[in-house]
Each structure stands twice: as structure tokens, then as C-alpha cells.
Amino acid sequence: MKDQNDIKHNRDDKVLLPLPIILSANAGEPEAMNIVLSHYEKYITYLSVRRFRKKEGYTYYGVDEDVRIRLSQGLLRQFLNLRFSRYMHLR
């Protein structure tokens, strides 16, 4: 299986996950699922940032760990539910 150094970039210089990693994650392979999570880690963290308020009255921004965990679990759940049978001819 390829590691993250083998991931190719598209025209906009956005990183794409290779199809073999996506298929392996879809099959439930733990190593591939970790690669998927690390690929989306920054985006998940960005989506998890919330504004918090202290007792003293000031506010600050931080990562809501509950939201981060739920987003990570949802991403893995969606990868496990992907259906590729109608796209396999494109390989």
C-alpha cells in the first residue's frame, strides 16, 4: 500500500487520496483509515473550532474535542459506507 508521500497533487495543488487507499479504507483496513484521518485532520480541526466563554466574561477560540471526535467518526463511517461497484470499470 502507498504511504502519504506517494499522494499526488491535482492542478490546484490540492492533495488527492489515491484510489487504492480509498478502497482499502472502504474495506476497513486500519492503516488506510489512519491515512484518511490524517489527510483530513486539519480540515476537521478547522471545523471543530468554537468560541468559548470563561466565567470571568472573556471569550476565546479553541477546538471542541467532542465535535472533532464526532466529525472523525462520521468521516470513517462514510468511508465504510461508500459503494464503488458502478465505478470499478474506471480503474
Q: Which residues contact 31 (CB under 8 A, 6 or more apart)?
A: 1, 24
Q: What is the pLDDT of residue 5?
A: 53
Intervals of the chain under pLDDT 70: 1-13, 85-91
pTM > 0.85: no
Q: What is the pLDDT of residue 37?
A: 94
